[in-house]
Amino acid sequence: MAWHILQAFAGKMGLPVPLSYEDEFPENNHLDFAFNLQLTPEMAEDISKYECVVFVDAHTGDIPEPVRLIEVESEFQRSPFTHHLTPQSLLAMCETIYNKKPRAALLSVRGYKFGFDRELSEMSRALVPEAVNLIEDWLSGF
């Protein structure tokens, strides 16, 4: 899901778009893009260099809205999963280690099929434009 939203957002901003999630987004002067399958503690250093950060994730319907963007604050959250790091915990690490706290938002988009496929389901694909617009609106506040 996130890869498709990043592609659509970059395209809407008139930026070059890589054809595969295995390729990196070309550098530009205004926005940076990174696609990762999960958050890791090492990313705290990366996000410490930014004024704002948007995390994009799919949800399974546990959130009432099919597309939702909320601001997140730094807050260490314990997880029963040993390899699970939330955006809130990553921000807390960034703030604790680097004394920096970028404004951050979490965009959650409803996924409908979670198989091993690179293409989105038709229902998920229909949500991409709304997701892109929410990111654009949020970033316009900077």
Q: 9-27 pLDDT, tens per residue? A: 999 998 888 888 878 887 7
Assigned architecture for domain 36-139: 3-Layer(aba) Sandwich (3.40)
- The reported pLDDT for the residue numbered 92 is 94
Q: 65-96 pLDDT, tens per residue?
A: 999 999 999 876 665 555 578 999 999 999 99
Report the amino acid identity of residue 128: V
Q: Is the pLDDT of residue 28 over 60?
A: yes
Please determine, for residue 119, whether its predicted confidence score (pLDDT) is greater than 90: no
Output 42 or 60, whichever has higher pLDDT: 42
Q: Where are the domains of the chain?
A: 36-139
